[in-house]
Chain A
């Protein structure tokens, strides 16, 4: 079972997931890559198309469902997670995906996001984070850096941004990951891992908006800088990065530090080893925060995956328990329950 839905495996290809609609994102937009990688991963899940549902809110990335040949619902701003929750709970047999942006999920939809994580609703949430409002033509978003100059912040934004990974961790999401639109293989890997997870799977995708925020992630994607700036998290592996694999991460008390592996002071054995399945959220949180600070590389990969019961499982279980205890619902009995009397 390559997915967490019980179903006979079917063989499909990426092409099967392409619709007849023209894709209307700006040329060069990072959304194209996410669409392509997702279409490549979905056949691996072995699910028939009709069991997959894509639900989105409003924003550039929320056009996603129109381009995905599955069931799709392009809803209203911020509400995708809440609508998807209803869909999943009504029919747990479905694999329900949310395509959303930084404004959609973290600003207007922030409340639904944290509560979805908290309740461990079995949704796969792909956050297309371009750190800008694209569809409304370039205002700062809740993930824009402080000081950002945009149309609505001509003197620089005075907002502190959200870090989506730490926000999701704080909201008890059971799967938290990050990937880059410009690293297709790794993005595919992360999406697949999300699909296989049971519970809320949150994937932050750094997505380049060529029109309003071009180059926001260039240091993570350009050939000459990316190796020094990206830390690939791999379970059980020490945290090494750098063009020459010569840098690593250690923790001093509760503070992570970048150390050199060539100066003789530290060796691979001193480095922090990644544990995706750590019961404690502390390590994942430390890693999550590193992207807030320029001196650290930006971690990508799976920050944390834990196992806990999903909302729909508990809901079904409770229904079965009550049925076992009180018997299958009988409407006639219900209507005639309580204090009744006869008028003859």
Chain B
């Protein structure tokens, strides 16, 4: 009979699961997140996996990790430095050690610390036996052999049994943080309903891990992290890509337009295609095209025919779509382009995050080719920004680029689910009146009429050649081109009257404003809150509209002595701000394929305000 163990209460914890890419770490992390979300904590996650699908086992470059930060109060980031590392092999230990808090707990699977794996991880000696882990609270657990022992008599092969070890580790972690195992048990039963032997083995491994924590002396203490006091409502955990897909589906319902997605698989955007492909009962048509160009051009063809048309991609794909984006601008057809940014240039770092497509999105086309560019700031915000992209596209008859990034796409957070009636309607006019119809006449928003094939009496021709104002015939007239170029620019510029002002959090003027955009929202928010706790006067603003900017942007910028702009690029927004508003802004940049840590930004704030670092 086990002694009653001590239970300590914590306000927040950051955990990282790490192992081979075949060890199921993403799944383990996702399960822990879902259970933690169900438990009522606020949380934020950072999956980090290699580009190779199954890199050779035991290698440093094959390590896959999943970090999550959960708390009894609001949190904004996946946590800077883990309090706990679960390392399934020496490579996972080696890669992740440098990120840990000085006194972090390390749970290691000692079964994998054999000569071969140590060598693969380039360890000259076993770190568990020398003093290289001094200061850490190392908990060695023979996870592989304990799993095998628990599953003795199972009909599964040795290899299959070994693969259950991640559930053993998960069970142990559930016990350690006082989480119930039921949600994962029912997930296992559902997931492996067709393979009952595997279901029961995984379930058994999970329970054994849990009981191992409870009954053995290995862990002296377990922890609780109380639920966070979130606003009232029904919640679910949601990733950025799923939120984007749901936002697009919602926009289709709210606009009454059928959704057409033309897309080509690309990391890290493919999950949007996957999600929407499941939703055929919404009448959604997904077309997996032969290439990126056909992805967008099929969407343009569908938009021409009256659908709510979308293409989803990442940076290299956006580059390929460039010419077609110009066509949509020239023919003034509504289109939503989602760019889930990843590390570039070229193939770059497909599975890592970056914000370096901003210039490409705003300027990357031949000719004067403006379009609205908007960006989501958190995983769940992708839902609302996807709807917003659809609203702008159909209202102004223009392609719109929605920027998200790998961190938002794969990261997740609890989301208070909105009811359908809370969502804004998207009013769309498709022209049917014959009287006075001209393809390039304009309404009060400077949008041309959307006259879709099939409408009697409105037969007309559009195309990529410059068209005459109002009548829409091919025109090489100098004056007309000058007029039309300015008209298209004005149409986009006017959108500033239709979007919210840039909001400043805390002092409305002062010494320092931290201004970000996109996926850096969480890290900046946490950094600013921490700095303010230290007594520093620092304000925060976050741009969700990058083109056009909110109308009050210039005004906001001028109210602060210093504007700090942290970006995961070499200063793209900073350049645009300087060019547009003639204000000096201070860059803060990092390009490691990773999101900012809040502490990095906080240090920069301290630095600028002359505080201690």
A interface residues (Cβ-Cβ under 8 A, vs B): 19, 21, 48-51, 53, 55, 58, 65-66, 69-76, 79, 82-91, 93-94, 111-112, 115, 315, 318-319, 322-323, 325-329, 331-332, 334-344
Contact = CB atoms under 8 A, between A and B. Distances in A.
- The CB with the most chain B CB atoms within 10 A, among A70, A85, A326, is that of A85
A85 B298 contact: yes
Interface of B: 34, 37-38, 40, 183, 227, 230-237, 246, 249-250, 253, 258, 260, 262, 279-285, 287, 289-291, 293-294, 297-307, 309, 323-324, 326-327, 331, 416-420, 452-465, 473-474
Contacts of B237: 338-339
Contacts of A340: 234-236, 417
A94 B454 CA distance: 7
A166 to B, nearest CB: 20
Contacts of A338: 236-237
Q: Which 3 residue pairs of A and B lie closest in terms of their CB atoms, listed nearest first?
A: A86-B301, A74-B463, A329-B282
Nearest to B183: A339
A94 B293 contact: no
Contact of B453 (A71, A74, A111): A71
B417 A336 contact: yes
A168 B232 CA distance: 60
B58 to A, nearest CB: 34
B287 A86 contact: yes
Contacts of B306: 90-91
Nearest to B333: A73
A311 to B, nearest CB: 9
Contact of A111 (B38, B291, B417): B291
Contacts of A334: 246, 249, 279, 282
A326 B280 CA distance: 9
Contacts of A344: 232
Nearest to A87: B301
A49 B459 contact: yes
B302 A90 contact: yes
B457 A50 contact: yes
B461 A66 contact: yes
B285 A90 contact: yes
Nearest to A49: B459
A89 B293 CA distance: 17
Contacts of B474: 21, 66
B260 A341 contact: no
Nearest to B294: A82
- The CB with the most chain A CB atoms within 10 A, among B232, B233, B299, B302, is that of B302
A195 to B, nearest CB: 16
A74 B418 CA distance: 42
A87 B304 contact: yes
Contacts of B304: 73, 83, 86-87
21 contacts: A51-B454, A71-B453, A72-B460, A73-B331, A73-B461, A75-B464, A76-B464, A82-B298, A85-B287, A85-B294, A86-B260, A90-B303, A91-B305, A115-B289, A327-B281, A339-B236, A341-B236, A343-B40, A343-B227, A343-B230, A344-B232
Given A55-B301, A329-B249, 19 more contacts: A51-B453, A65-B461, A65-B463, A66-B463, A72-B462, A75-B327, A82-B294, A83-B298, A85-B298, A86-B298, A115-B290, A315-B285, A323-B283, A331-B250, A331-B420, A334-B282, A335-B417, A336-B417, A342-B234
